[in-house]
Amino acid sequence: MLEVTGLICYKMASNRENRVAKSKTSFFCTACGSELSKWAGQCPDCKAWNTVEEFRPAAIPGVAARKTGYAGSSSQKVTELADVSDQKITRIGVGINELDRVLGGGIVPGSVILIGGDPGIGKSTLLLQVLAGLMGQLKCLYVSGEESLQQINMRAKRLGLDVAHLRCLTETNVEQVLAVAENEKPGLVVIDSIQTLYSEIVQSAPGSVSQVRESAAGLVRYAKQMNCAMVLVGHVTKEGSLAGPRILEHMVDAVLYFQSDEGSRYRVIRAFKNRFGAVNELGVFAMTGHGLKEVSNPSAIFLSGHTEAAAGSVITVIREGTRPMLLELQALVDESHLANPRRVTIGLDHSRLSMLLAVMHRHGGISLGDQDVFANVVGGMRITETGSDLPLMLAILSSFRSRVLPEKMVVFGEVGLSGEVRPVYNGEERLKEAAGLGFSRAIIPKANRPRQAIEGMTVNTVNNLAEAIAAVF
């Protein structure tokens, strides 16, 4: 009887332990960050396939604090916004104007910034330059999980940076990193990189989705609670997106991407998310033997190779963040020997090119169904705004007819499906930027006509595609 009772108690205890173990296992979608109760082949929220992974934290005492949320410690007290201090936050200028521009004027204390980019593009170099510039005004801590202290010192000497008193730490355990930060109490912490860190409460290898998510959550909580600015370096996948869960971008306050054309010495850093500044703000740097040098006038750099007018070439003015920028668009139209003519774009949206060709056929009377069309943005830049529609169409038509467009002419404007040319924002500022670089003629939408005449520039306004073609050809 005692043996039976003991067996029953043992089974009950085992079942209880199994239930506890099961309750500690959860599943997360790496694409959208949704939490699921069980594994599924398709995420029910974002509908992505094969993105659900298991998350099983270890049973370690004192880890309940991780449930407090990303913004700091949990509180059940409700506060009215009127009771919140509206004291203006003082930003920390990093001393690099292009980076300050992208950040919205500098680093905000307590904010978390995520910087991603291809290997060797210059992320660590730029951050080391930032730390060197902040040494005199802010206590900084550089945490490296990829390089030794000797390697960091060698790079600093090669770049000619004075970082003799920089506080460095080579550690990959996030709990140890936070313990050191508690003692050091820095104003800025740089983590290079987030994929190398691991947490003891997660039973998976460093770099996995669970480890990246948990490590980032702990660092974000520390930054918010201690009002400490933090910069996280992130690796990117072969598709160009940040490695790890998508929720990583939602945790942080700003997401910056390093971009570069293969073989080019120029680097572009773009803000894809910024809670304290403009989105899509752009900073341009040049890689030199002494590190990254900021380019204060990107328009002159991107137009430096434009010597004389050629068929299929048009200069346009785009708006990146708060700054207008001149770029050269090139198009090549050639007779196709394929059943399906090729449509190739570099730096432009491929689908939009197909749409513009259809508009050109329907409302311009120009058919390119038997022609290969290639479009390129000179300099390795990527254009996302619709103001490049009209210059791209004129560049295609110029190449198709082998007609050289007038020199010192800029074009911008959005083209609708009915062939109308729509205005773009900040048109007058774009014209002033072009006039400052010596351009004397512009083809723009009628709604963007400047209130005052631009000195040294003749402005032609058009309502539709047909008027634009007639004004140029």
Q: How many CA atoms lie within 13 A of 400 on its CB side?
A: 21
For the segment 282-302, the average pLDDT, to the nearest whole number, is: 88
Using the predicted structure, report yes or no on whether residue 416 has a pLDDT greater than 90. yes
pLDDT tier at 305, thresholds 50, 70, 90: low
Between vectors from CA 419 to CA 418 and to CA 424, what angle results, nearest 5°? 105
- Tell me, what's the pLDDT at 135? 86
For the segment 263-281, the average pLDDT, to the nearest whole number, is: 88
Question: Of 272, 275, 209, 211, which Cα lies nearest the Cα of 240?
Answer: 272
Q: Taking a C-beta distance cutoff of 8 angstroms, is the pair 180, 174 a contact?
A: no
pLDDT tier at 71, thresholds 50, 70, 90: low
Using the predicted structure, report yes or no on whether residue 269 has a pLDDT greater than 90. yes
- Torsion, CA 252, CA 254, CA 255, CA 260, rounded to 10: -150
Distance between CA atoms of residues 92 and 340, nearest Å: 55
Chain Cα centroid distance, residue 458: 37
- Looking at 226-235, 255-264, 277-286, which range is the least confident one? 255-264
Q: Which is higher by pLDDT, 423 or 384?
A: 423
Q: What is the pairing mode between strands 371-377 and 254-259?
A: unpaired
DSSP string, 162-224: --TT-EEEE--BHHHHHHHHHHH--SEEEEE-GGG-B-TTB-S-TTSHHHHHHHHHHHHHHHH
Token code pair at residue 326: 């001149």
Q: Taking a C-beta distance cutoff of 8 angstroms, is the pair 224, 104 a contact?
A: no
pTM for the whole structure: 0.79
DSSP string, 275-307: TTS-TT-EEEEEEETTEEEE-S-HHHHHTTT--
Token code pair at residue 430: 């774009």
Q: How many CA atoms lie within 13 A of 140 on its CB side?
A: 24
Number of other residues whose CB lies within 10 A of the CB of residue 225? 13
* Signed CA dihedral, 218, 222, 224, 230: sign only: negative
Run of H or E including 274: strand 266-274
Q: For 338-368, how does the pLDDT look when each residue is reduced to its tens digit (9 = 90+)?
A: 999 999 999 999 999 999 999 999 999 999 9
- Tell me, what's the pLDDT at 449? 94
Question: Of 29, 21, 33, which Cα lies nearest the Cα of 58?
Answer: 21
Question: Of 306, 416, 409, which Cα lies nearest the Cα of 355?
Answer: 416
Distance between CA atoms of residues 239 and 346, nearest Å: 15
- 167 to 132, 136, 231: CA distances (angstroms): 11, 13, 15
Burial (Cβ within 10 Å: 0-12, 13-18, ≥19) of residue 170: middle
- 465 to 2, 145, 168, 417: CA distances (angstroms): 94, 55, 59, 10
pLDDT tier at 298, thresholds 50, 70, 90: confident
Q: Taking a C-beta distance cutoff of 8 angstroms, is the pair 387, 318 a contact?
A: yes
- Looking at 7-16, 45-54, 404-413, which range is the least confident one? 7-16
Distance between CA atoms of residues 178 and 63, nearest Å: 14
Chain Cα centroid distance, residue 80: 34
Distance between CA atoms of residues 239 and 237, nearest Å: 5
Question: Of 103, 71, 378, which Cα lies nearest the Cα of 221?
Answer: 71
Write down all domains in the chain, each with its CATH number in brackets: 26-55 (no CATH), 93-296 (3.40.50.300), 301-472 (3.30.230.10)
Q: What percent of the chain lies above the pLDDT cut of 70?
A: 87
Using the predicted structure, report yes or no on whether residue 20 has a pLDDT greater than 80. no
**The amino acid at 106:** G
- Looking at 10-14, 85-89, 338-342, which range is the least confident one? 10-14
Distance between CA atoms of residues 382 and 328, nearest Å: 12
**The amino acid at 245:** P
- What is the residue whose two structure tokens read 């694409």? 31
Distance between CA atoms of residues 158 and 156, nearest Å: 5
Average pLDDT, the chain: 86
